[in-house]
Amino acid sequence: MIKLENISKSFEGSFRPIINNVSLELQKGEFCIIIGSNGSGKSTFLRLIAGEHKVDEGSIFVQGTDVTRKNRNDYITSVVQDVNKGTIPEMTLLENMVLSYKGDKISGLSFYKNFRSNILHEIQKLGIGLEAYLDTKLMHLSGGQRQIIATVMAIISEPKILLLDEHTSALDPKIQRILMNYTISTIKENNITSFMVTHRLDDAIKYGDRLVMIHNGEIVFDIKGDKKSSITIDELLSLFHKYENLSLIGGKDE
Amino acid sequence: MNSDLFFSSLQQGLILTLITYGVMIPFRLLNFSDLTAEGAYPFGGAISTSLLLANFNPFVSVLTSSLITGFIGIGTGLVYLKLRVNSLLAGIILSTMVYSVNLRIIGKSNITLFDSVSLFSTDDILNNISILFIVIFIIVVSIKLFLHTQFGLRLRAVGFNQDFAYRQGISITKYTILGLFIASAISGVAGSIIVQLQKYMDIGIGVGIVIHALAALMIGEAIIGNNTINRQILAPFIGATIYQQIQGIALSSGLPPSDLKFFTSMLVLIVIAMKEYGLTYRS
């Protein structure tokens, strides 16, 4: 589905590449969890996939087509912590949701109110009462509610590849659970190829078919299948400590 | 108040209403500060003049000049998007270019159309006002319907948040240009109508027109607000008709026409001040 070949990225003024010669391939429907400490390059990695940053070197293929230099917003969608990137506060919930239906599937001249029942159905699935706010401008909703909406919007846009960058981290634990369950079940149901960056190791163990750890811009750990399902939280923790220590030692000669 | 004055101000107000729509669409829906109306309005007039002189049907000449005028909006959009020129400057550049084009089209700086056919009559002002109401009604209903389509929704999304639109795969170029085309086309309708109404075309009719339209827009928004689509769509009509009444009363009660521009700009400042201090409509 998606294949990254030796991609690298540096920013002006950084001593070493933020992403250094990374290769990774995901099959259709594969769900890849990305972990790593702060500053390891996880978010940059997702932005490179989304095309928000251009890679310096290497290539990105989606379904065999080289898309390295192409705009891929039509089929790669991301949900980030900043809700202003994912929603329009001045528009109502209905208007926001309709915008995420992708262009070629519906006529531009159809009235957007026609999608009301589809959208209502989609929001009711969440089971948190958001359907009452269908005609409310999002600026009147809470940050958590808007983040949930941004996630739902990303999913109903039926992307080929979905990128989730700690999309639940700003929410309270209860809403975090609800949003995570919704995310996971819809990803599975629609067989969407996904990447999810998370800081929560329990989530990293519980979800996904594949687990990748990024450290200093490189993939240092990559497991899937039985190995992924049998890994324990202690093993992950020791992995973290190993690389944290390494970087402390490595820091001396940098 | 004298009814002749009322009706002639109303007639002026209805023309200004059209231009105000041409200004409202970029300013409010696209969040694009645009002066293209300054060129689009006389351009519509110039094209219509040449069509009327060639004995085209007056209705056809309104439609044709409107469509052709729409392309100035596309020009402004392209200069802004592709050459990364500030939106105000892009509009000024296009308007300046159009000034020369207009001189080419009508051949001199002003021209009379007394012998040409027209949608409007010289003595029946109520008839003229009715036609203007119909034109405005058609435009308002079209804008309203358009804004409720997917296209209209995406256009508003581009105006609110380009970052969001880009991430949703909505083409900023396409919708900016579409909006500016529609806006200029409406200003073109106004230009085409004014020459038929006055039976006269002057190269300078566009000078300062954006300020008048903005004043009208702000007065309309101060009265009914713009927090919903319906209010935003009605604001130009309400603002422009009231604005022309105020102007008519001021002139008839002794304001020298030479002071009019000062008066107009002062009115704009007063409305802005009222808005700043919370004296206008609030939802």
pLDDT tens track for A175-226: 888 888 889 988 998 899 999 998 888 888 888 889 999 988 888 888 888 8
B82 CA to chain A: closest CA distance, Å? 17
A182 CA to chain B: closest CA distance, Å? 21
Task: Name the H helices within B148-208.
Answer: 150-160, 162-167, 172-198
Contacts of A82 (CB under 8 A, 6+ apart): none
- Report the residue from B148, B149, B153 with minimal CB separation from A99: B153
- Report the residue from B148, B157, B169 with minimal CB separation from A73: B169
**pLDDT tens readout for residues A47-94:** 999 988 899 999 999 998 898 888 888 888 988 878 888 899 999 999
- Per the CB < 8 A criterion, the answer to whether A18 and A53 are in contact is no
- Report the residue from A85, A90, A106 with minimal CB separation from B150: A106
B255 φ, ψ to 5°?
A: -70, 125
B149, A110: Cβ pair inside 8 Å? yes
The encoded tokens of residue A179 equal 């949003």
* Other residues' Cβ atoms within 10 Å of the Cβ of residue A133: 17
- Per the CB < 8 A criterion, the answer to whether A128 and A142 are in contact is no
The neighbouring-strand residues paired with A218 are: A215
Containing structural domain, residue B78: 11-206
Per-residue pLDDT at A155 exceeds 80 = yes
Task: Name the H helices within chain B.
Answer: 3-24, 37-53, 58-82, 87-106, 125-147, 150-160, 162-167, 172-198, 209-224, 229-252, 260-276
Looking at beta carbons, which residues of chain B come within 8 Å of A86?
164, 167
Percentage, residues of chain A above pLDDT 90:
22
Contacts of A170 (CB under 8 A, 6+ apart): A81, A143, A144, A147
Pairs of CB atoms within 8 A across A/B: 59
Give pLDDT, residue A252: 38
User: What is the C-alpha to C-alpha distance for residues A213 and B102, in angstroms, rounded to an integer?
Assistant: 66
- Report the residue from B151, B161, B166 with minimal CB separation from A88: B161
B168, A157: Cβ pair inside 8 Å? yes
Looking at beta carbons, which residues of chain B come within 8 Å of A88?
157, 160-161, 164
A86, B157: Cβ pair inside 8 Å? no
CA angle B89, B95, B100 (to 5 degrees): 135
- Per the CB < 8 A criterion, the answer to whether A88 and A138 are in contact is yes
B164, A109: Cβ pair inside 8 Å? no
User: What is the C-alpha to C-alpha distance for residues B124 and B137, in angstroms, rounded to an integer?
Assistant: 20
B53 CA to chain A: closest CA distance, Å? 37
Q: How many domains does one find in chain B?
A: 1
Looking at beta carbons, which residues of chain B come within 8 Å of A106?
150
Q: Is residue B245 part of a domain?
A: no
A112, B161: Cβ pair inside 8 Å? no
- Report the residue from A90, A107, A112 with minimal CB separation from B160: A90
Per-residue pLDDT at A162 exceeds 60 = yes
**pLDDT tens readout for residues B18-62:** 999 999 999 999 999 999 999 999 999 999 999 999 999 999 999
Give pLDDT, residue A253: 39
Q: Report the DSSP pairing between strands A210-215 and A218-224.
A: antiparallel
Side by side, which strands form the sheet with A19-26? Answer: A19-26, A2-9, A57-62, A65-66
Q: Is residue B197 part of a domain?
A: yes
- Rounded to 10 deg, the angle between the B37-53 and B87-106 helix axes is 20
B150, A98: Cβ pair inside 8 Å? yes
- Report the residue from B149, B166, B169 with minimal CB separation from A109: B149
The pLDDT-based confidence of A143 (bands split at 50, 70, 90) is: confident
Looking at beta carbons, which residues of chain B come within 8 Å of A101?
150
Best mutation target, A71, A79, A112, to test chain B (most B CBs within 10 A):
A112
Buried b (16+ CB within 10 A) or exposed e, A226-238: eebeebeeeebee
Looking at beta carbons, which residues of chain B come within 8 Å of A119?
none
pTM (2 d.p.): 0.88
Residues in chain A, overall count: 254
**pLDDT tens readout for residues B55-113:** 999 999 999 999 999 999 999 999 999 999 999 999 999 999 999 999 999 999 999 99
The encoded tokens of residue A59 equal 């290539």
For chain B, report the end-to-end CA distance as a whole number of angstroms: 33
Best mutation target, B149, B150, B158, B227, to test chain A (most A CBs within 10 A):
B150
Looking at beta carbons, which residues of chain A come within 8 Å of B161?
84, 88
User: What is the C-alpha to C-alpha distance for residues B9 and A220, in angstroms, rounded to an integer?
Assistant: 76
HEC secondary structure over A3-27 = EEEEEEECCCCCCCCCEEEEEEEEC
Give pLDDT, residue A251: 45
Domain A2-199 carries which CATH code? Answer: 3.40.50.300
Q: Is residue B265 part of a domain?
A: no
Mean pLDDT value across chain B: 93
B235 CA to chain A: closest CA distance, Å? 18
Q: Is residue B240 part of a domain?
A: no
Element housing A174 (H / E):
helix A173-190
> For residue A218, how many C-alpha atoms fall within 13 Å in the half-sphere facing its CB?
7
* Other residues' Cβ atoms within 10 Å of the Cβ of residue B50: 18
User: What is the C-alpha to C-alpha distance for residues A170 and A180, in angstroms, rounded to an integer?
Assistant: 13
Task: Name the H helices within A52-113.
Answer: 83-86, 93-99
The pLDDT-based confidence of B221 (bands split at 50, 70, 90) is: very high
Buried b (16+ CB within 10 A) or exposed e, B86-117: ebbebbbbbbeebbeebeebbeeeebebeebe
